[in-house]
Each structure stands twice: as C-alpha cells, then as structure tokens.
Amino acid sequence: MRGLVLSLTGRGEKADLRLIDAAYWMKGCSSLGFLRYAALVRIEDCGKRRLALVDLKEAVEPAAPAAPGAEMPADPAERVVAGARALSPNLGERMLPLRLLGKPVVMRELAPQDLKLDVDQFTRDEAVPAAHYLAYVVGKAHGRQMDEATRASWRQEVLRGTDGEEQAPNWLWSSEVELAGRHEVGYLQHCRLHATAEAA
C-alpha cells in the first residue's frame, strides 16, 4: 500500500505516510451492503506535505460467468484489478487488491479525473469528442472479445439504416434510452429494498 501511494504521488521511498482520517463512504448503489471507505493520507517528504484521498471498495463475486478457457483470478479483488489493467491500464496500474476485515477490497487513490462525468458540464464542442473517445475505448475492449466474422456482422448491423453516415441507428438510440431508464428505476428500487431491510 505504501509503495502504491508513493508511486502515485511521485514522492520518494523515505517519505512519511500517516493515516489522518477514515470513514465509511456510501457512494451510489454499488456501496450498499458492502465495505466502502475513504481514507485521508498525509505524505510528508523533505518538509513538503501533501494529502491523498484513498478509496477502499469491497470486491464481490462476478454476476456473469467467465468465458470458457479464460484465465480468471479466484479472488474478487484480484479479478477487478486484472480487468481494469486489461481494459484501462492508466486506471488499473493505480489499483491494488487487498484484504480488509477479512474481505477482498480494491484500493486506489482518487484523482480529479476519476470523478464521474456530468453531461451538463460539457458544451457540444466538448461533448462530441468525448463521446467519440469513449465509444472508441469501449468498442475496442468489446471488439477484442469477438472473432473477425462476429465483428463484421456486428458492424453491418450497427450501420444498417444509416446510409453509411456517422450516426446511430434508431434501434440503438431507443435501446440506450430505455436501458438508461431501467438502470435508474433499478437503482432506486435497490436503495428502497436495502433501506427497508436495514430498518427491519
């Protein structure tokens, strides 16, 4: 843990690390019923002080089965970190699998760029390049899971009805809107059930 924090902050190995504070952190539905802590760490090196905010989040068993023949770590925290390093190395290299209170957790330092995107913060000129970038990253990650024939078939399906223009087909747009709505309903329902169980 010490090595990861120091490597992320660019401080030397002789720097002094001290845990200043830590608290349970309820952050969205993924935290309900699981360990989630935020820790404030002070780093002092050559008279200079810096604070680092560290996130500790419990890793759970996967809901989906692994692909046949895929090598998958048995420990949930190791699985999450391995996945992050494969899909987003810049994020994955800043994560560490640990055990806390007998449970698997993933530790990472929270940086400003880790804040979730808020559509309202973008202008149209900013949103379009960001959407292109995210589509490229996600598409590349998913594309690696398909063979060439499957990729060609999927591309043909996505472009169907678009006249070759750079636009999403109506069926894809409507399904995305429906999925976003279902996610919001599911999130609120999950919160209600968790609150009811806690009260009981």
- pLDDT tens sequence across 37-73: 999 999 888 888 888 889 999 999 888 888 888 888 9
User: Do 96 and 175 sit in the same domain of this protein?
Assistant: no
Rounded to whole angstroms, what are the CA distances from 151 to 86, 145, 156?
Answer: 20, 9, 9
Confidence category of residue 95, pLDDT binned at 50, 70, 90: very high
User: Do 87 and 124 sit in the same domain of this protein?
Assistant: no
What is the full DSSP assignment across 160-177? TTTTT-SS--HHHHHHHH
Q: Is the dihedral of CA 2, 33, 187, 169 positive or negative?
A: positive
User: Do 9 and 76 sit in the same domain of this protein?
Assistant: yes
User: Do 134 and 41 sit in the same domain of this protein?
Assistant: no
Phi-psi region of 183 (alpha: psi -120 to 50; beta: other; left: phi over 0): alpha
Condensed to tens digits (0 to 9), the pLDDT of residues 66-92 reads 888 888 899 999 999 999 998 888 888
User: Do 110 and 135 sit in the same domain of this protein?
Assistant: no
Task: Please count the structural domains in the chain.
Answer: 2
Write out the residue range of the structural domain in which residue 189 sits. 119-199
Taking the model in full, what pTM does it have?
0.61
Residues 86 and 125: their CA atoms lie apart, in Å, by 30
The dihedrals phi and psi of 8, each to the nearest 5 degrees, come to -75, -30
Torsion, Cα 75 89 117 6, to 10 degrees, reads 80
Considering 114, 149, 176, which residue would you say is the last residue of a domain? 114
